[in-house]
Structure 1
């Protein structure tokens, strides 16, 4: 039908009219989500309806793969999961466990615990980055979960149900003057087994400073590290690579050059910024390799800059440590209401 399959994601299709993006379709299994001009609707979408048996169709305000989407009057889009969040149920403890937090869960309790953490992970990855670290820690003890872990999981349910969050995607201007902002953070040795947690959050920003949150990620760092500097470096490298990927994807979507998009990285570790811009050799050989990759990305202009920011402005903080204030990130992704649901 004249659409172009994305080279980076085979479930994403673009339609160009005279070299300008006219329509887009993304597919999840057998669910289609599309947007585009009237011409695109008439020539492509209506043809798809002739080819496939279409069930329910919705527009303007609807649910897609369990996430509620709503377009506002300014052309922006809001995402929320309030209905799904309200459906969460705490896991009840068996009577014999109610007094001993160190007891290992029964097999049935472990099953219910894994199911609940899976539900929380779905929410954390879609609309609630503020529970990311909680979910990561809860996921790391599946096989040896104790009563204390289940109690904490139930507390996270209360936490997520106490606040309504809508992730806002404002309509951006100047498509050829967009910046990719990447915020990364890491916490050295803060997981229960001594592992380190890393995370990043990435935005597309227009010339007016309006931000669209594109993705956030939280995970255990892919290898054991020996220092805070090493942990922060690995998190930054993941963030920078993700930023370049998004710039490439955006360039393909808008039929522009990837060089039209600036990728900027932000960290709250001064030693890391100094090390990236230094020629002094680092003793840690693994770290030396990762640092060389970052320097190469800078020299080739894959990323424009790596900049230090205060911890209070590090939006990825809440992804990597317990007790970090979620307000900066929640505000950046659109805002929230603290009223209980």
Structure 2
């Protein structure tokens, strides 16, 4: 076991449950461990008849066995990945650890060795999980323990007060650990799954073995020997003859080959299962495409992955089952490239804005089992055979990849722009004129799909409605699913984390006004979690459920388009004294109408040494993203100027004048903004009053009427006190 990240040699007597523990060095030799065990146990109590040890290098060495054999003690090594064979010692690890940490927390001045000794003594003089007092069985009496630390105040040594106080705390902590252990043991008892009655484990039989490091059964391997609860199997060796390896009998099971994979798969979709028809259709499609094929023999050493169905009911009432495999257990999965095209939320809003400005048509297409219609060349032998994929076909069909998001494609650029598509795995969002729809239809002609749908429809969790003058988006259906039975209570950190994830999904979608609240709650860890955090989370959830909004994308004047960007920062406002930075980007015209494009409220990843440094960092981050959006809009035929807004008078004056800042990083960021103005990438920089800066609500907890007006009416007033720009 480990205490304070240091290894500990822990010994427990099988009969009396008497404990002993000592700190050892990392990588200690077998001789030194034996010397420590000899001084602390054998020289006091005598040599035990048998010593059961973990299968570690120092314990399993011949030196350790020979040294103990000289004391007439036999060494027994447990099987591989069968730690419960050391059940007595394992059960005493956690109580000893908790007792030690409590003593260490209260009386750190005693030192780690003394704290460990006090913890071991508390375990030995207290009734254990088995109802035994180890000291009573070993010495015939229980050592006396002062009832109160005050009784030792007259002693000549002042340290006795701390020592006895620590002993009492340790004993109380151990008694609580024993009580909790007994309750858990009574509530649940682990019954090994294998071997089952139909599993006959015999010499020569093919077996699958379970390894904890890989979390699955591997094999098959040939059974070599059975010795009680241990089973030895032959492990192939590439450099020589096969070697024997011992496993617990509960970690092996009989291997059986499947003569007909299709029949076994389809068998899972029974008529009694309400999802049976959907499961059968999914499996039949997989088999017809050649994805699943019979495997009469599993290669030696192959990883056997588990699988299951994920059942969902579509908004139109259709029942759909998806057959998934536990790819995270694939040992080669980390070295395998995975292509999962998912359109980002900000690029989705760019598409909404372009569609609304041009008055383009919007549609949605869902491809059937898109990944199985792929043509990626595989680097290793697998059982899935793939064909041509959707993204490759889009590129071949004349679509150009967007720079801001590789899952967005345009059909034509600048003057020839006529539309595009956004890809989310097997779902396609199509927008544009008739030419773009015809090009996408040619791509879809060679693939199986479920047709094309016109608004209203749900894409990537967002419901879309299109009228003649505007495009509306909302996530009301998701909110209803989350809170259909009311706002759930938050009792544990798991409940807190689950609801926090749901609110984060809404904040990055159609509810940007709650981004700061969710960002602050995202900084809460299991160690720092308290009831106040749950109260704030429930307040945000109640607000979202009560105040329903639709993001509006009205028609804008293409001739007066401009990107309105606002940034703000809150210096050293987080619990760890880091700064919170936030910005928001809108696309608007000469009127107050705006399209919400993107916003962020995040902890600053760079150190800010002052309020001005934090504000300047937020403004540069906002400008960086705004310029990327402006380049995408330019590819779609819009030359859009950028207007940066800040409520920091220091930054505005520094940009407008030739001020020189002392800190180098601040000066570099300031020069970046000045260069943007000089090269006309930034049209103008405006100073906005703090109450009129909509980004202020992304760094501070406050009610913001500006966000409410944007969400309800799609309007944002153009207010500023000063501005700086270049003119010809």
The one of 388, 403, 408 aligned to 1:7: 403
Please name the residue that 2:713 is paired with.
335
- The answer as to 2:419 corresponding to 1:23 is yes
Which one scores higher on RCO, CA 8 angstroms, separation ≥ 6? 1
Over 3 Å counting, the alpha-carbon distance change for 1:62 and 1:247 in structure 2 is same
Structure-1 separation of matches of 2:588 and 2:641: 10
Report the more deviating stretch, 208-217 or 263-272.
Answer: 208-217
For residues 244-294 of structure 1, the C-alpha deviation after alignment (integer angstroms, 9 at most, x for no partner) is 11100111122x6xxx32111011111110112232322233322222222
The one of 688, 702, 708 aligned to 1:309: 688
> Which ranges of structure 2 fall in alignment gaps of 5 or more residues?
1-396, 715-728
C-alpha contact (below 8 Å) 1:195/1:224 kept by paired residues: yes
Aligned to 1:143, the other structure's residue is in SS state coil
Over 3 Å counting, the alpha-carbon distance change for 1:186 and 1:264 in structure 2 is same
Give matches, 1:103-142, under 5 Å: 109-142=492-525
Please name the residue that 1:294 is paired with.
673
C-alpha contact (below 8 Å) 1:169/1:334 kept by paired residues: no
User: How much does 1:64 deviate?
Assistant: 0.7
The one of 430, 444, 457 aligned to 1:49: 444
User: How much does 1:112 deviate?
Assistant: 2.5
CA RMSD of aligned residues (A): 2.1
Please name the residue that 2:650 is paired with.
271
TM-score, with length taken from structure 2: 0.41
Over 3 Å counting, the alpha-carbon distance change for 1:272 and 1:48 in structure 2 is same
- The answer as to 2:627 corresponding to 1:244 is yes
User: How much does 1:18 deviate?
Assistant: 9.8
User: How much does 1:164 deviate?
Assistant: 0.8
Please name the residue that 1:155 is paired with.
539
Please name the residue that 1:38 is paired with.
434
Aligned to 2:706, the other structure's residue is in SS state helix
Please name the residue that 1:77 is paired with.
471
C-alpha contact (below 8 Å) 2:414/2:636 kept by paired residues: no
Aligned to 2:526, the other structure's residue is in SS state helix
For residues 7-50 of structure 1, the C-alpha deviation after alignment (integer angstroms, 9 at most, x for no partner) is 33221111139943222101112111111223332x22322331
Please name the residue that 1:100 is paired with.
none
Over 3 Å counting, the alpha-carbon distance change for 1:54 and 1:187 in structure 2 is same
- The answer as to 2:610 corresponding to 1:215 is no
User: How much does 1:333 deviate?
Assistant: 4.2
- The answer as to 2:544 corresponding to 1:166 is no
Structure-2 separation of matches of 1:291 and 1:307: 15
Structure-1 separation of matches of 2:548 and 2:451: 27
C-alpha contact (below 8 Å) 2:456/2:466 kept by paired residues: yes
C-alpha contact (below 8 Å) 2:413/2:636 kept by paired residues: no
C-alpha contact (below 8 Å) 1:212/1:333 kept by paired residues: no
Structure-2 separation of matches of 1:335 and 1:326: 15
Please name the residue that 1:58 is paired with.
453
- The answer as to 2:234 corresponding to 1:234 is no
> Which ranges of structure 1 fall in alignment gaps of 5 or more residues?
95-108, 337-341
The one of 653, 661, 664 aligned to 1:282: 661
Aligned to 2:508, the other structure's residue is in SS state helix
TM-score, with length taken from structure 1: 0.86
Aligned to 2:622, the other structure's residue is in SS state helix
Structure-1 separation of matches of 2:443 and 2:706: 43
